Amino acid sequence: MLEKFESYLVAEKRYSSHTVIAYLKDVRQFLDAVEIDMLEDLKDVKHSLIRSWMVQLIEQGIVHRSINRKLSTLRTFFKWCVQEAILETNPMVKIIGPKTEKRLPSFVREQDISVTRLADVFSNNELGQRDQLMFELFYQTGIRLSELIELKKQDFKARQIKVLGKRNKERIIPLSNDLSEALNQYQQNLQGVQQESNYLFTLKNGDKIYPKLVYRKINYYLGLITSLEKKSPHVLRHTFATHMLNNGAGLETLKDILGHANLSATQVYTHNSFSQLTTIYKQAHPRGHKKK
């Protein structure tokens, strides 16, 4: 059964491998918790059983955000069960997840990520060049970790890069002249096995770079320039979005660059930009500041 559900997630929903793994893990966790191991036993799953499981998770100290993610997985799973005629009704219909606190995305201050500040952060060798390029791509384009790993050499053309995002949606992101030149130089320097690979970022043996390595690298470099508790590629994505808004980018433009499905996902960054709006208001409005 789960093999068919996995095929559905890959072929029809077009979810990334990372998302598929997470969905299958959540479903297995639920089925184990409620002791369902046979296909025909799914008919015994009622909304009351799902609520009881949800209460157990809360009592175990699982944060509400994680619980809601698991419930989202179950909504997809049971909807699929109804579509496949495994179930007649969807037990998730009456389920409402716990309220979650809205967390503002962490971001690096502009002065902490300036060219001057980064001048001595990366080593002057092939690996240092690769790491700097990954860092700048995250910061200058706002791409996701999974998107960076899947970048291919042919995706880069004439000061723009093609990104394959969630649900296999493609988007084109412009690049600065400096970043475009750095990408050109990096590709020219690739030798041996790396030159034979189609992927932009590889290991020395030519294999595609993997998520943990990228995360570890970005975590290390961010640790050299900021005291933020969170230091990940996604923080650079948040930083990109916040700095774009602070410097006049529109929400619609930012939505398209980030690859968000709807505007509500992009609007979270307006909270981080409120301090910037306050500063502009005080400077621009006649009553916004005290006259000397």
Catalytic positions, please? 144, 166, 234, 237, 260, 269
Is 74 in a helix, a strand, or coil? Answer: helix
Sorted by sequence, the CB contacts under 8 Å of residue 211 that are 6+ apart come out as 18, 145, 146, 149
Report d(CA 251, CA 266) in Å as an integer. Answer: 7
Closest CA to 142 of 116, 112, 179: 179
Both tokens of residue 128? Answer: 């240092």
| Strand partners for 202 | 208
Closest CA to 138 of 169, 177, 175: 175
Both tokens of residue 116? Answer: 């001057």
178 membership: H or E segment, kind and range:
helix 177-189
| Strand partners for 163 | 171
Closest CA to 269 of 148, 103, 139: 103
